Amino acid sequence: MTLRPAEADSGIRFRRLDVPGSAPIVATYEHVSDTLLCTTVASDEGVKVATIEHLMAAFAGCGVDNVLVELDGPEVPAMDGSAAPFVFLLECADLVEQDVPRRWIRVLKPVHVHDGDRSASLAPADGFLLSFQIEFDSPAVARQSHFVDLRNGAFKTDLCRARTFGFANDVDRLRALGLARGGSLDNAVVVAGDRVLNDDGLRYDNEFVRHKLLDSIGDLYLAGGPLLARFSGDRSGHALNNMLLKKLFADKFAWCHTDTPPGTMLPAWDWGARAATA
């Protein structure tokens, strides 16, 4: 995977170099084609890129608006199962502030979706605030909740190192479906009953729910820009997150664009539009 600089207002795009002649895929909620275990985007011609959520979260957390992602295969590299390696590489490459206002998406009224006991919602706010709660039968996970105010480097300090997780008794079933074939203790936290099987244990006491927040940030960045909103997730996942964006944008009275939102407490540097440099 290679990240290349992009012009202002070009957005985040994915290009498959192993599919000659294929057009870049614009990373927006409208191009999501699959949400089973990960978020996949596809072009109108059916060219796909899977597992984009951790990279998208890194872009959101680092303030990257415009970048071209080139891949020689159908999936973003798993790395260690978190967004930390992507954040590290973006910081090493450095970012360039572009001479255009950064366009934010302000949520104007509450939007809510649910599927059984799972739910996700957006509400008006002057920043980007997120809360999440999960509950699993496994004693190692149990019930966890976490809140984050995504400013002043909070993504890097509080979320980016949280890894994806799975359960040992699901591995055989997933591999029979052709999924998780590259999964290992090197790129996921694996739980068996009340034990975490990784030798190094957990990176945060509540790493599981923090990773669900990380996933949500990546999924919500498919809005096409940063949100001014409060997100709440209760056992939500990729499918509900995408459904939430579709419901938001289906109501023209539920959102608007703004370049310099009044009353915000975010520092001034957060308002500059940015692109990643190679």
pLDDT tens per residue, range 74-133: 999 999 999 999 999 999 998 988 888 888 999 999 999 999 999 999 999 989 999 999
| CA–CA dist 245, 43 (Å, integer) | 19
Residue positions annotated with a catalytic role? 238
Strand partners, 98: none
Which residue intervals of the chain are DSSP H helices?
53-62, 84-93, 154, 171-176, 207-220, 238-250
Q: Are 188 and 165 in contact (CB under 8 A)?
A: yes
25-68 pLDDT tens trace? 999 999 999 999 899 999 999 999 999 999 999 999 999 999 99
153-184 pLDDT tens trace? 899 999 999 999 988 876 665 555 554 555 57
| CA–CA dist 204, 162 (Å, integer) | 7
Q: Are 125 and 229 in contact (CB under 8 A)?
A: yes
| CA–CA dist 216, 223 (Å, integer) | 12
Strand partners, 68: 4, 13
Domain 2-276 belongs to what topology? lpxc deacetylase, domain 1 (3.30.1700)
Return the pLDDT at 183. 58
56-67 pLDDT tens trace? 999 999 999 999
202-223 pLDDT tens trace? 999 999 999 999 999 999 999 9
| CA–CA dist 132, 209 (Å, integer) | 7
Strand boundaries in the chain, DSSP class E: 2-5, 12-16, 25-26, 32-34, 40-42, 48-49, 67-71, 95-101, 104-107, 111-115, 118-124, 128-135, 143-149, 165-167, 189-192, 195-196, 227-234, 255-258, 272-276
Domain boundaries, the chain: 2-276
